[in-house]
Amino acid sequence: MYSLKSFYHSLLNYFLKIKNTEKCQFLTHSKIDKSCIFEGYNSIGENTAIKNCSLGNGSYIGKNVEFSGVKIGRFCSIGSFIHNATGRHPSSVFVSTHPAFFSEKRSGWFTFCNKQKYQELKYVNGGGYLVEIGNDVWIGDNVLLMDGITIGDGAIIGAGAIVTKDVEPYSINLGIPSQKVKCRFTEEQIAFLLKFQWWNKDWNWIKENWEMFEYIENFIKKFKL
């Protein structure tokens, strides 16, 4: 006999064709588009809606999040009430900012254009994602991510920030617009972590060595390349 959880995962597998759902949890009223990809051990919070997104191993998203076209690395901690802005409007040259004058799409149910005259979406590296979040990234509550940005491995985005540009690895960023306030570790320690890439280690390796994650200095001494 199916448990309610098993039945829900079966429905997800059947209708959405999502892999590794047996290692994931999807909380009440979460909405997952069939284009989403889960690597495993992921969690999607209550009332969160994601479309065309991917989550690496161990990453989770809090409640009331709206993501479209976001690639999330491994072991990321994504807070609640976060969304990424999709769609840009011209702020100079064009007389009006209304999409009816530059977009062939029917925004507001009508358009005057028969061809696209302005790039509304800014994809990262010309790929299929509007935002790319690295590995081991922590994003606090009530953050807005503008399209076209990359957040480096190990970075922290403080609550309430608006991220308008790329974020350096292992940096701490606060404010509107967000600014780097300091780095989490020394330059040498950051260089080691970016080269070592512990998040790409085998899952069993991480389980066996998890206690070493408590102190950066001890971690580097043990696993120095």
- At the fourth CATH level, the homologous superfamily of domain 1-86+128-184 is Hexapeptide repeat proteins (2.160.10.10)
Q: Which residues are catalytic?
A: 89
Helix (H) or strand (E) holding 183: strand 179-183
| Whole-number pLDDT of residue 1 | 42
Whether 145 has a pLDDT exceeding 60, the answer reads yes
Structure tokens at 127: 């790929």
DSSP structural state of residue 167: B
Q: How far apart are CA 93 and CA 191, in angstroms?
A: 43
- Per-domain boundaries in the chain: 1-86+128-184, 88-120, 185-225
Structure tokens at 186: 């020394």
- Structure confidence by residue, pLDDT tens digits, 55-114: 999 999 999 999 999 999 999 999 999 999 988 888 888 999 998 999 888 766 899 988
